[in-house]
Structure 1
C-alpha cells in the first residue's frame, strides 16, 4: 500500500470515529440493561434442608436387687419424671413381667408423661430408645431397645418386656452393693430446619430474617377436659342409657354425631312423657355389653381418649377391657376406637390371651390383629401351649380355622 492510500485509509477511519464515540453511551446503556435483565432472569438462591437427631439419656439405679427378685408378677414401680428431647418421661420397672411367656425376666417401659389428666404431648416423629445395663466402669454391658415407635395418646407407654433374665443379671457382674444401674437413651429426629441460605449471584437474594419470637403463648387445648366434665356432671343430658344394672346419662346430639348406630337408635326413640330433672329424656336400653366396657366407650365418645385407669391395670384386665371395647366399637361403628383397641391387643398377645383375641379379631373383621395372633401361634412350641389354655376351649369354634391354616403351612414347610 502506498503512503498516499495509507493516509487516505487513516483519514477515512478518523472521519468515522466521532460518530462511534457519539453512539457509545447508548450502546453501553443498552448492554447494561441486557445484563441486568439476564441477571434477574438467572439469579438463584440456594438453601440446605437438614434433619438432625437429638439424643438425651437418663440413668436409673435400681436399689434393692435381692428384694426385687422376690417381688410377685404384675408389680411395678415408676421413676421420677425427667426431661429428654423436649418432652417429659418416666420409666416403668417390672421386676417380674406380667406375661407368663417372659417369666423370670426384667422389663423396662418408657412412658410419655401426661400434660394434664386429659391429654399428652404428641410426638409426630418416630422415637428410638434403648435400655442398657451398665457395668461397674459405666459402660454398657447389655442393651435392648425399640426403633421407630410413635408415642401418642393411645401408645404413650412402650418398652422391652424381655430386657434381661434374672439369672443372666446375676452372672453379669454388674450388681454392686445390692443395686444395679441402667441408662435409657432416647433419640428423636427433629423437624426439618433451614440451616443455610445464601444467594449465589452475590446480591439481592440473601437469607431470610429470623422471625421474632411470639409474644403471646397459646395454652394447650382444654376441650377434652370440658368434654369430660360435660359427661360426668350430666349438665344438659337428655338421654338415659340402661346397660345391665347401671344407667348412664348422656347428650343425644353428641351420641348422634359420634355414632351412626346411636343416631338411628335415638331418631327412632320417642321422648319419654315423664319429666325428669333437666327436662324430658329419651331412654335407650343396650344389651350384650358389659357396663364397665360401655362406661369406657362413653368416655371415649366424649373425649376421644381411653380412661387413664386402663394404663394402670394389670395386663389381664387391660386385655379383657380392650377385647370388649373392640367388639363394642365395631357394633356402634366407632372406627377410631376400634383401631386403638386393636393396637393395644397387638401389644398384649401372649399364650394365655391369644385364642380369645384371635376369636375377637375374627368376629369383628380385624385383619391386622388376626395376622398378629396367627404369627404368634406359628412360633415354635406356641400352638401346643395355646391349645392347652382355657381361652382356647371357650373359643375354639372361632379360631380353629386360622390355627388349622397355620398348622398346614408348618407341615408344608
Structure 2
C-alpha cells in the first residue's frame, strides 16, 4: 500500500498501441497524491495524443511499472526555514509574479515570490522587470520554450535547496534539460551541482564528445574539464 507523503523511486514504461509509441522512463522520484504530470514523458505531445491516438472513441494507454520502491531516507530540508519556504512555493503564498511556462497546448502557471526567485536565479531579473502587470497586480512572465517540470524543479532548489528531482538514475537527457534551464536563468549553484552529477554518472567514452560540445556551448567549465580528461585518455576510441 502506498503511503501518502512518502517518497518513491519510480521507473515505468508507457505504451500507446495506436501510435506504436513506447518509452521507458529514467528513474524518477515522486510522492502519492502529487501532480503526476512530472512523470509523463516530455517528448510526447498531448495534442498528438488526442488527434492520432484515439481508436473507436477510446484512448488506450498502457503503463507498466518496472520499479516502484519506497525510499527509506526521503529528502527533507535540513532547516525548518527551508521547509517553510517550500510550503510557501507549494501553497503559492506571498507571490507577486506568475510564470506561464511551456507551449500553448500544455502551459503551466507557476506563482512565486520574485525576491526569493532572484536570490537563486538572478538571470530572471530583466525578464521579470520587463514583464507586463496583469489585473491581479502580479507581473506575468511568459516562458514558452521552457519545460514546466524543469522550471518547477529549479524553483524548488532556489527556494529550499531541494534536490529530490535528482535520483541516482536520472537520465543524461533529463539532466541536460535541467542544466540548460539553470544556465539560462543564472541559477549557478544548481548549475555546478548538475555539472558534477553529469560528470559522475554519465561521462564515459561514448558520451564524452556530446557532453564536451554541450559544456562548451553552455559555459560549463567543470563538466568541460572532465570531458577533456576523458577525451585525452581515450583519443583513439573517441576519434
Same fold (TM over 0.5): yes
Q: How far 1:263 moved relative to its partner?
A: 2.1
Tell me how far apart the structure 2 counterparts of residues 311 and 243 of structure 1 sit (CA, whole Å). Answer: 24
Kindly indicate whether residue 86 of structure 2 is the aligned counterpart of residue 228 of structure 1: yes
Partner residue of 2:197? 344
- Which residue number in structure 2 is paired with residue 265 of structure 1? 127
Residue 301 of structure 1 corresponds to 158
Q: TM-score, normalised by structure 1?
A: 0.36
| Relative contact order higher in (CA < 8 Å, ≥ 6 apart) | 2
Distance 1:341 1:364 in 2: 13
* Structure 1 residue ranges without an equivalent (≥5): 1-73, 76-112, 121-220, 385-413
User: Partner of 1:311: helix, strand, or coil?
Assistant: coil
Q: Secondary structure at the match of 1:338?
A: helix
Tell me how far apart the structure 1 counterparts of residues 190 and 109 of structure 2 sit (CA, whole Å): 22
User: Whole-Å Cα distance in 1 between the matches of residues 80 and 109 of structure 2?
Assistant: 27
Aligned length: 164
Deviation at 1:352, TM superposition (A): 4.4
TM-score by length of 2: 0.60
User: Cα RMSD over matched residues?
Assistant: 2.5
Q: Indicate whether 1:383 and 2:218 are aligned.
A: no
Residues 394-405 of structure 1 correspond to what in structure 2 (within 5 A)?
A: none
**2:113 alignment counterpart:** 251
Asked if residue 289 in structure 1 is aligned to residue 146 in structure 2, the reply is yes
Q: Which residue of 1 aligns with 2:166?
A: 310
Give the match's secondary structure for 1:117: coil
User: Residues 254 and 119 (structure 1 numbering): CA distance in 2 closer, same or farther, change over 3 Å?
Assistant: closer
From the CA coordinates, give the structure whose radius of gyration is larger.
1
Whichever structure has more strand as a proportion of its residues is 1
The residue aligned with 2:207 is 353
Higher helix share: 2
Say if 1:362 and 1:247 are closer, same or farther in 2 by CA, change over 3 A. Answer: same
Contact kept in structure 2, 1:272 and 1:281, CA below 8 Å: yes
Counterpart secondary structure, 1:305: coil
CA–CA separation in structure 1 for the residues paired with 2:88 and 2:219: 33
